[in-house]
Amino acid sequence: MHILITGAAGFLGQRLLHRLISRKELCGQPITHLTLVDQTQAAVPDAPDITIHNDAVDITAPNALDGVLDRKPDVIFHLAAVVSSAAEADLDLGMAVNFDATRALLEGCRTRRLNKTRLVMASSVAAYGGDLPDVLDDMTALQPQTSYGTQKAMCEFLINDYSRRGLIDGRVLRLPTIVIRPGRPNAAASSFASSILREPLNGEEAICPVPLDQALFVMSPDKVIEALVHGAEVQEEALGKFRAFILPGITTHVAEMLEALREVAGAEAVARVRHEPDARIEPLVASWPARFETAKANQLGFVGDRDFKQIIDAYVAEHR
């Protein structure tokens, strides 16, 4: 079993890498080779029984993935992407990384007849947008309102068509907002969703720019990684007529998140959250869909978090 991870130096890539090394197998086969691709060399944990190729590659360069695909990976986790704000700031960069590199990856597999290779790609709840219904389901139209969402949606179609034609075996998982991310607050509009929990747990102040009743559709990093792994293991026959679908996040709202924080870390932690409405962030977050019926993912065996408290408990256990 040879696995390729693009974006291997990133947050999800690193977590996935550790998970794969610790589970030692995928799809019932022992993992013998891992190929890691990112702009910079990915950090590599100790893995005595696995041959690891670690390639710093600009995936937007012509034929960048030739050498990597010549090794004929059985499973590809395609996580490399530029984030929403970067894709919005630079259309050409977003198209090159988020769309053209995915197309080149598909073409590279097609050229090498890797039609049994399972390609698991991360798409995003950002592919949704427009005049959405209160509760979305598997047949809700994608009407992305960002270039990032547009590029992800285009990749979904391309992967579906290449899969339908038998050129690759693709699976595209639309990820909910990931909470709790590690690190520091950043410019992303979603930054607060992790920050209002992470900073108070670390004894620091955080700013909440949205109302207490703001709903969010979230998934913990652990469940996302489990979903990626499961995405590789699902049988092709079960995937039906379209290869992309939303993962079973949970719907929560800010008040519930803070109540869970209080249960875990006490009222003094909640008191570290300052409420400062932000007219720039509020409408953006309000436009994100928060309620889904995830019938397809459920049927395929994907599992989300039980409740929001479990998400905090897992973070605390990991970072203690």
Binding residues for a copy of itself, per CB under 8 A?
91, 129-133, 138-145, 147, 150, 153-154, 157-158, 160-161, 164-165, 240-242
- In the complex with a copy of itself, which residue's Cβ is closer, 14 or 102? 102
Pseudo-torsion of CA 177, 180, 181, 183, nearest 10°? 140
What angle in degrees, to the nearest 10, is found between the helix axes of 147-164 and 101-111?
10
Minimum gap (Å) between residue 113 Cβ and a copy of itself: 14
33-38 and 51-56 beta bridge pairing: parallel
Q: Provide the residue type at 225 as one letter.
A: I
Tokens of 257: 């998140």
Helix H segments across 165-287? 191-201, 221-233, 254-265, 267-270, 281-286
- In the complex with a copy of itself, which residue's Cβ is closer, 37 or 167? 167
- In the complex with a copy of itself, which residue's Cβ is closer, 132 or 207? 132
Minimum gap (Å) between residue 299 Cβ and a copy of itself: 12
- In the complex with a copy of itself, which residue's Cβ is closer, 130 or 183? 130
Question: How distant, in Å, are the alpha carbons of 168, 173, 184, 193, 198 from that of 285?
Answer: 35, 21, 19, 10, 19
- In the complex with a copy of itself, which residue's Cβ is closer, 98 or 191? 98
Sign (positive or negative) of CA dihedral 172, 83, 176, 2: positive
Tokens of 131: 């005049």
Task: List the one residue out of 132, 134, 136, 130 whose CA is nearest residue 249.
Answer: 136
Minimum gap (Å) between residue 199 Cβ and a copy of itself: 33
Neighbours of 277 (CB within 10 A): 10
**Alpha carbon distance 57, 239 (integer Å):** 31
Minimum gap (Å) between residue 128 Cβ and a copy of itself: 10
Sign (positive or negative) of CA dihedral 253, 255, 257, 259: negative
- In the complex with a copy of itself, which residue's Cβ is closer, 139 or 267? 139
Minimum gap (Å) between residue 227 Cβ and a copy of itself: 20
Minimum gap (Å) between residue 271 Cβ and a copy of itself: 39
148 is catalytic: yes
**Choice among 128, 148, 162, 315 that is catalytic:** 148
Residues serving a catalytic function are: 148
